[in-house]
Amino acid sequence: MKRIDLDTWEEILVALTRNKTRSLLTAFGIFWGIFMLIALMGGAKGMKDLLSQGFEGFATNSGFMFANPTEKAYKGFQQGRTWNLENKDIERVRKSVPEVDIITANNTQWGVNINYEEHTFSGTLKGLFPEYKAIEDPKICMGRYLNEFDVRENRKVCVIGYRIYETLFPEKGNPCGKFIEINGIYYRIIGVSSAVGTQSIQGLPETSVSIPFTTLQMNYNMGQRIELLSYTVKKGYSVSEVEKKIEQVIKKAHMIHPDDSQAVMNMNAEAIFSMVDNLFKGIRVLSWLVGLGCLLASAIGVSNIMMVTVKERTTEIGIRRAIGARPGDILQQILSESIVLTGISGMLGILFAVFVLSVVEQGTSTPLSPTHFQIGFWEAIGTCVLVGVLGLLAGLAPAYRAMAIKPIDAIRDE
């Protein structure tokens, strides 16, 4: 197509403003289609961020196991017997199941009162080993995390969640080295965790205090009892197959029937992550299908409107052909009108969608859990190219119809 000069631009504007109502309706259709496509793309991206925050920091190859009353009688033990995991189970699994990469334990005290001077917070007290950070990233923003010496020497030290830090230390200073009181016991703060999430194992990270596992067992007279066994598997293995081997080792050590499906309860984080990932893919595909459907409907609307416009301008086109206009000139004019109409309304749709997504992003983001609703640069470029292609395709049929108009037919029509 040859370059469009100023006279041609004037003709295009005159043609588009000849029937303002029709042009506005057509422009709104393209505007809405582009807006829906961008909004759905950005919305899917933001929804993924929001849902991912619930599992933020979790190892995707992790599994969890806890004890439950038995379902079957076995070796003299009655049905419904209660039992507990114990410290020795960590070493048993480590020696018997080589597919396990990291294995550790969790104990929890719920609803504890955490006090510092006149400030109080009701949260969760967790007993953890240093290895647990490989399963749930604590994201230490001040100080350090628990280490082997803390566990070995039963130190009364702790890592506090960020909401606890904000409540107990509103002046926002570094709390490391200060002491907080929990159920009459004082613990020295060694670190602050900035981890957030709507899902967590035995308490949300921002409302929890983590202390050495052995310290919690000793302070609350728990003996050797473990409430939750946590582990990750090595590369090349799935949690589903490894958890069965771990379960066999645990059942054998605690005299539980091999076919008892209730005594050992499992949670497979790998399966949950896989399900959520498939959900994200489905949402993204759905957003593209709905958005492209809106655009396709808009493009058909533009083509139909241009068809009507060409029919109404039969006499004008015939006269132009009679005074020397070539078929290529008519083709260029109709295609230019279609591209300009879709281009202007499409760009306005993109700008409005970006504005709406920006407002939504600011309303849902926090410093610790940012969400991103805006589309990427290349996605925006691709959308612009798509708008141009749609304008071209929408104008093809009307343009060829206009080219087929003969001067004599136009005169007869008049």
Of 106, 95, 103, nearest to 134 by C-alpha is 103
Q: Which residues pair with 103 in a beta bridge?
A: 231
pLDDT band at 52 (very low <50, low <70, confident <90, very high): low
Q: Which of 251-255, 372-376, 399-403 shows the lowest per-residue confidence on average (mean pLDDT)?
A: 399-403
The amino acid sitting at 186 is: Y
Mean pLDDT score of the chain: 81
Using CA atoms, how far apart are residues 329 and 302, in angstroms rounded to an integer?
Answer: 20
* Higher local confidence (pLDDT), 288 or 101: 101
Beta strands in 263-324 (DSSP E): 264-268
- Give the number of residues written for the chain: 414
Q: In whole angstroms, how far apart are CA 214 and each of 106, 177, 190, 226, 244?
A: 10, 21, 17, 11, 28
pLDDT at 21 (0 to 100): 62
Q: Looking at residues 303-318, what average pLDDT do you find? A: 68
pLDDT at 1 (0 to 100): 43
Q: Looking at residues 65-69, what average pLDDT do you find? A: 93
Tell me, rounded to whole angstroms, the distance of Cα 234 from its chain centroid: 26
| Model confidence at 165: pLDDT above 60 | yes
Half-sphere exposure of 383 (CA within 13 A, CB side): 31
Of 307, 398, 308, 394, nearest to 346 by C-alpha is 394
Q: Which of 73-77, 134-138, 188-192, 348-352 shows the lowest per-residue confidence on average (mean pLDDT)?
A: 348-352
Domain ranges of the chain: 6-55+274-413, 62-269
Q: Looking at residues 239-250, what average pLDDT do you find? A: 92
* Stretch (H or E) spanning 411: helix 407-413
